[in-house]
DNA sequence: GAAGTTTTAGAGAACGTTCTCTATGAGAAG
DNA sequence: CTTCTCATAGAGAACGTTCTCTAAAACTTC
C-alpha cells in the first residue's frame, strides 16, 4: 500500500461551487466582488470558501483576467532610497488584494528590459518602474498595454503616469545652503546617465540644470563644475580624487546620491582633508546612510515613502479603470542640514 | 474608421505552430527542450519563434507545468547582507530560463506567511526563504509541495535544503580577536528572535551559543553578557545605552548585525565615549556599511554572494528533479578587522 | 393582471499552455 | 517480405479561472 502519498488536491472554484451548491460563475463573481450576486449568495459562497480554505489560483486567473500582482522594477537593491519607495508602495497596497513582487534587474538596459518583459509575460496587472535605464521607446510600448508608473524620470508621456521629485529645486536648496555658508567654489557630482536610453529628463539631468541655474542666480556660473561619476562608493571616490587634486579644488562638493558623497569622503580622508573643516559635503536622497552617527551627512530629503505610496495609488486607479488619462505627481524636496557642511576655511 | 486601435494580438504557440507548419505539441516540446523532436524540426520551430518574436505566456504555462519563476522571500530590503545574497542568486540564474522575483514581506510572521502563500498561488517553481520568521510548520508544509531552500536557520529538515553560515564559529572569531586585544568584559547584542516561530536554531541562537562557548573557552563565562535587541539602528542604540550605563560596562561590544553596531556607536557617541579608545565595537555580516570610511567597523564576513549562488544552484537541482534528498551547505565565516576594535584602555 | 424591466443564477466557451495518448513511418530482425 | 521495435509527429483533453450569453425570477408600471 505504498501508493497515493499525495492526495493533496488543490481546492478549486469548482469545489467551492459544489460545496455551496451554486455555479462556478457565482463563486467567480464573489471572488472579484463583481456586480450581480445577492447578499445571501455572497454569504453562502464566502462561508464555503472559508470552510475549504480556498485560495484562488493566480496562474489560472492570469489566463483570463487579472493576476492581482503588481511588479516593481528596481535597478539596485542597495540604494536605500529605493527601499523607502518600496515601503511606500507596500504600505499603500497592504490591505488591498494586490501582491507586490520586485524584479531586481541590476544595472544594464538589457537586463532591465528582460525583467520588464518577464513581468509582462507573467501578466502582471501593473508595473512601477523606478528610474528605468531601458530605452524610453520600450517603456512606452510596454505602458501602452499594461498600466505603468515611472518614478524618477521627468519625461512625461500620455501613456504612463509619473512620480518625480523636483530635483531642480533640490539642487537649488543645496547650492543656496552652501552659498549662505560662504562657499563659492561648489562642484556637483552627478551620474553620467545611461547613454542613448533616450530619456531626456532623467533625475541627474534635472538636478544638473537646477544646480547650474542656482549657481547662475548667485553669480557663480563661472565657478560651476559638474563631474560625472557613477552613484556608488567607488564613483564618488574617483570624482573626489579628481576634483580635490585639481589646481583649484572646490571648497564644497554636492553629489546626486548619498553613497557617492561617502566615496568623496573617502577620497578627502585619504588626501588628509577633514569634513567639514576642509571640505563641505552634501549628498542627496537623505537615505539611512546620511543619518548614521559617524556619517552625519547634509542631504536632501525626497520623501521616498510618499512617492512610493503615490505611485501605488495612481497605478491602482489605472488598473481598475477609474482613470484613463496620464498624470504626473511632483514631490517637493527638503534640505536636511547635518554636520558635513560648514563655512569654508578661506573664502576663495 | 476609428475602430480597431489595438490589433496587438498576442503571439501564441498556435501561431508559431501554424507558421512553422507543425503541431502545437512540437512547439511545446521545443520550448521545453523536451525529448522527441528531430533536429530539423527544432530548427524550423526555432526560426518561426524568432520570426514572430514569440514569448511564452507564463500564466498559461503555470496552469499546467512550470512557470520558470523563482521566488525569494526577504524580510528586510534594507539589510545589505540580503542584497549580497540576492546578487548571488541572480548571478547564478542569470543565463538560465528562470526569472527571480522578490517578495519583500517586511517583518511580522503573518506578512511573511502571506507573501509565501502568494508566491505559491503564483505557481512559482521554487522558493528561497531568507531567515523566515514564519512558523516552521508552515514552511515545512510549503516545502513539501514546492522545492524550497531556507537560508539562515540551522534547523535541518528532510523536506527542504538549507544554506547556513557557521555563526557559532563566527562569534568565536570575534571573541578570540577581542580577547587577544586584552578585552575581558565583552558583551553580545543579539536579536531577540521571533517568539514561538518554532525555529530552534536561528542564526541569533547559534551565534549566542558560539559566543558563550568562546567566552567559556577563555575562562570568561562569568563575564558573558547577552543583550537582546532588534537588528536596527534604534535597537543597537537602546542596547548600547543600557550596556554602557550599567555599573560595570563592557569594554567591548559585539553585535549580530552591522547596523546594530552603528546604533551602539551612536549611544557611545552620546555618552561621550570614543570608538575604539573607550569601546571596541564589532558588527556582523560585513555589509557595505562596515566598510564605509567614516565607519570602519570590524565585522565578520559571511560571503553572502556565495550563499545566494549556492542556494540557487541547489534549488534548481530540486526543481529539475536531479536530486530528491535534502542537503545543507555551510559557509565558513571570516573575520575582517578594521579600526573599530583595539586594546582596552584599562584591563578590567 | 399583463407587459415590460431589472436583477440574479447558470451553461459553457474561451484563455495558452502541457501532456497523454494514438498514429505514422523508418529501420532492424527474422 | 513480414513483423517488431523505436523514434517522431499530431490530436485533443486537461488545467482553473473569467466572461458572455441566455434563462429564470422578481419587481415595476400602467
Backbone angles phi, psi at B28, to 5 degrees: -60, -40
Q: Is a pLDDT exceeding 80 seen at residue B3?
A: no
Compare B1 and A36 and report the one with higher pLDDT. A36
Which class would CATH give A68-163+304-331? alpha beta
Contact B297, B283 (CB under 8 A): yes
> Which among A61, A265, A294 has the least Cβ separation from residue B265?
A294
- Residue B51 C-alpha cell reads as 520570426
Gap from A168 CA to D20 C1', in Å? 52
Contact B162, B150 (CB under 8 A): yes
Residue-level pLDDT at A170: 97
Separation between Cα atoms, residue B106 and residue B124, nearest integer Å: 20
The fold for domain A167-302 equals: Rossmann fold (3.40.50)
C-alpha neighbours within 13 Å on the C-beta side of residue B127: 32
CB atoms A262 and B294 under 8 Å: yes
pLDDT digits (tens, 9 = 90+) for A100-158: 999 998 878 889 999 999 999 898 999 999 999 999 999 999 998 899 999 999 998 99
Q: Which residues of B touch A57 (CB under 8 A)?
A: 63, 121, 123
Separation between Cα atoms, residue A284 and residue A173, nearest integer Å: 11
Which of the residues A62, A94, A270 would you substitute to probe the B interface, choosing the one with the greatest number of B C-beta atoms within 10 Å? A62
Q: Which residues of B touch A100 (CB under 8 A)?
A: 103-104
Q: Sheet containing B126-130: which strands, arranged edge to edge?
A: A328-331, A161-165, A148-151, A126-130, A69-74, A99-104, B99-104, B69-74, B126-130, B148-151, B161-165, B328-331
Q: Which stretches of B94-218 are DSSP H helices?
A: 109-121, 136-143, 167-180, 203-217
Residue range A328-343: mean pLDDT, rounded: 96
Residue-level pLDDT at A194: 75
Residue-level pLDDT at A128: 97
Q: Which nucleotides of C are covered by protein (CB under 7 A)?
A: 7-12, 14-20
Q: Is a pLDDT exceeding 80 seen at residue B185?
A: yes
Specify which of A293-297, B6-10, B51-55, B166-170 reaches the highest per-range mean pLDDT.
B166-170
Q: Which residues of A touch B121 (CB under 8 A)?
A: 55-58
A40 is near strand D: CB distance < 7 Å: no
What is the helix (H) or strand (E) element at residue B99, kind and residue range?
Answer: strand B99-104
A10 is near strand D: CB distance < 7 Å: yes
- Residue A131 C-alpha cell reads as 528610474
Q: Which nucleotides of D are covered by protein (CB under 7 A)?
A: 7-12, 14-20
Residue-level pLDDT at B280: 97
Gap from B11 CA to C22 C1', in Å? 29
Where does residue A232 rank: exposed (0-12), middle (13-18), buried (19+ CB within 10 A)? Answer: buried
- What value does the mean pLDDT of chain B take? 91
Q: Which residues contact A306 (CB under 8 A, 6 or more apart)?
A: A88, A331
Contact A57, A51 (CB under 8 A): no
Q: How far is B102 from chain A (nearest CA, A)?
A: 5
Which class would CATH give B68-164+303-331? alpha beta
> In the 8-state DSSP scheme, what is residue A326?
-
CB atoms A122 and B63 under 8 Å: no
Q: Is a pLDDT exceeding 60 seen at residue B347?
A: no
Residue-level pLDDT at A7: 43
A8 is near strand D: CB distance < 7 Å: no
Residue-level pLDDT at A8: 56
Which of A300, A325, A303, A298 is closest to A314 using CA atoms? Answer: A325
Separation between Cα atoms, residue A62 and residue A68, nearest integer Å: 9
Q: Which residues of B touch A121 (CB under 8 A)?
A: 55-58
Q: Is a pLDDT exceeding 90 seen at residue A182?
A: yes
What count of other Cβ atoms lies within 10 Å of the Cβ of residue B56? 20
Compare B31 and A195 and report the one with higher pLDDT. B31
Name the E strands within A256-314. Answer: 280-282, 299-301
> Which among A55, A63, A295 has the least Cβ separation from residue B121?
A55
Q: Pairing between strand B299-301 and B334-336?
A: antiparallel
Instruction: Using the structure block, give the residue that is written with the C-alpha cell 502563500.
Output: B117
pLDDT digits (tens, 9 = 90+) for A37-49: 888 889 999 999 9
Q: Is a pLDDT exceeding 90 seen at residue B147?
A: yes
Residue-level pLDDT at B221: 96
Contact B77, A77 (CB under 8 A): yes
Residue-level pLDDT at B346: 62
Q: Which residues contact B144 (CB under 8 A, 6 or more apart)?
A: B159
Residue-level pLDDT at B341: 96
| pLDDT band, residue A76 (cuts 50/70/90) | confident
Gap from B169 CA to C14 C1', in Å? 59
Helix axes B80-93, B304-319, angle to 10 degrees: 40
pLDDT digits (tens, 9 = 90+) for B252-309: 999 999 999 999 999 999 999 999 999 999 999 999 889 887 789 999 999 899 999 9
pLDDT digits (tens, 9 = 90+) for A250-267: 999 999 999 999 999 999
Sign, CA dihedral B134-A87-A316-B69, equals negative
Where does residue B122 rank: exposed (0-12), middle (13-18), buried (19+ CB within 10 A)? Answer: buried
> Which among A69, A115, A293 has the least Cβ separation from residue B262?
A293
Residue-level pLDDT at B97: 87
| Dihedral (Cα; B245, B346, B189, B85), 10-degree rounding | 140
Residue range A306-317: mean pLDDT, rounded: 96
- Residue A24 C-alpha cell reads as 462556478
Question: According to CATH, what is the number of the domain A13-56?
Answer: 1.10.260.40
CB atoms B8 and A90 under 8 Å: no
Which of B63, B55, B56, B57 is closest to B121 using CA atoms? Answer: B63
Q: Is a pLDDT exceeding 90 seen at residue B136?
A: yes
Residue range A94-102: mean pLDDT, rounded: 92
DSSP helix/strand/coil, B301: strand
Separation between Cα atoms, residue B230 and residue A48, nearest integer Å: 41
Instruction: Using the structure block, give the residue that is written with the C-alpha cell 524584479.
Output: A103
Which of the residues B57, B59, B87 would you substitute to probe the A interface, choosing the one with the greatest number of A C-beta atoms within 10 Å? B59
Q: Which residues of A touch B8 (CB under 8 A)?
A: 145
pLDDT digits (tens, 9 = 90+) for A200-212: 999 999 999 999 9
- Residue A331 C-alpha cell reads as 514631490
- What value does the mean pLDDT of chain A take? 91
A247 is near strand C: CB distance < 7 Å: no
Q: Is a pLDDT exceeding 80 seen at residue A346?
A: no
Q: Is the peptide bond before B276 cis (omega within 30 degrees of 0)?
A: yes
Residue-level pLDDT at A4: 34
Residue-level pLDDT at A336: 97
pLDDT digits (tens, 9 = 90+) for B68-124: 999 999 988 888 899 999 999 999 998 898 999 999 988 788 899 999 999 998 989
Fold match between domain B13-56 and domain B167-302 = no
Domain ranges of chain A: 13-56, 68-163+304-331, 167-302
Residue-level pLDDT at B2: 35
Separation between Cα atoms, residue A271 and residue A239, nearest integer Å: 13
Amino acid at each position: 500500500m505504498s501508493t497515493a502519498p499525495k492526495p493533496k488536491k488543490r481546492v478549486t472554484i469548482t469545489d467551492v461551487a459544489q460545496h455551496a451548491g451554486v455555479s462556478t460563475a457565482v463563486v467567480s463573481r464573489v471572488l472579484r466582488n463583481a456586480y450581480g450576486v445577492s447578499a445571501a449568495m455572497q454569504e453562502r459562497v464566502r462561508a464555503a470558501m472559508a470552510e475549504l480554505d480556498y485560495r484562488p489560483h493566480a496562474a489560472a486567473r492570469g489566463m483570463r483576467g487579472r493576476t492581482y500582482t503588481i511588479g516593481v522594477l528596481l535597478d539596485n537593491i542597495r540604494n536605500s532610497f529605493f527601499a523607502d519607495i518600496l515601503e511606500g508602495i507596500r504600505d499603500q497596497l497592504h490591505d488591498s488584494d494586490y501582491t507586490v513582487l520586485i524584479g531586481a534587474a541590476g544595472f544594464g538596459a538589457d537586463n532591465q528590459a528582460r525583467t520588464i518583459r518577464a513581468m509582462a509575460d507573467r501578466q502582471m496587472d501593473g508595473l512601477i518602474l523606478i528610474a528605468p535605464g531601458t530605452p524610453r521607446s520600450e517603456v512606452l510600448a510596454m505602458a501602452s498595454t499594461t498600466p505603468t508608473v515611472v518614478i524618477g524620470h521627468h519625461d512625461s508621456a500620455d501613456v504612463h503616469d509619473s512620480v518625480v521629485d523636483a530635483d531642480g529645486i533640490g539642487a537649488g536648496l543645496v547650492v543656496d545652503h552652501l552659498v549662505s555658508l560662504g562657499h563659492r567654489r561648489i562642484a556637483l557630482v552627478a551620474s553620467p546617465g545611461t547613454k542613448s536610453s533616450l530619456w531626456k529628463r532623467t533625475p541627474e539631468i534635472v538636478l544638473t540644470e537646477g544646480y547650474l541655474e542656482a549657481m547662475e542666480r548667485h553669480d557663480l556660473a563661472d565657478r560651476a563644475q559638474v563631474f560625472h561619476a557613477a552613484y556608488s562608493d567607488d564613483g564618488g571616490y574617483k570624482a573626489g580624487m579628481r576634483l580635490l587634486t585639481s589646481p583649484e579644488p572646490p571648497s564644497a562638493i554636492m553629489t546626486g546620491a548619498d553613497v557617492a558623497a561617502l566615496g568623496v569622503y573617502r577620497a578627502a580622508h585619504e588626501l588628509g582633508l577633514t569634513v567639514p573643516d576642509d571640505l563641505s559635503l552634501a549628498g542627496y536622497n537623505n537615505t539611512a546612510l546620511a543619518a548614521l552617527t559617524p556619517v552625519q551627512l547634509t542631504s536632501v530629503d525626497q520623501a521616498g515613502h510618499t512617492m512610493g505610496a503615490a505611485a501605488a495609488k495612481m497605478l491602482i486607479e489605472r488598473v481598475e479603470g477609474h482613470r484613463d488619462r496620464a498624470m504626473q505627481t511632483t514631490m517637493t524636496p527638503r534640505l536636511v542640514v547635518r554636520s558635513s557642511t560648514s563655512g569654508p576655511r578661506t573664502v576663495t
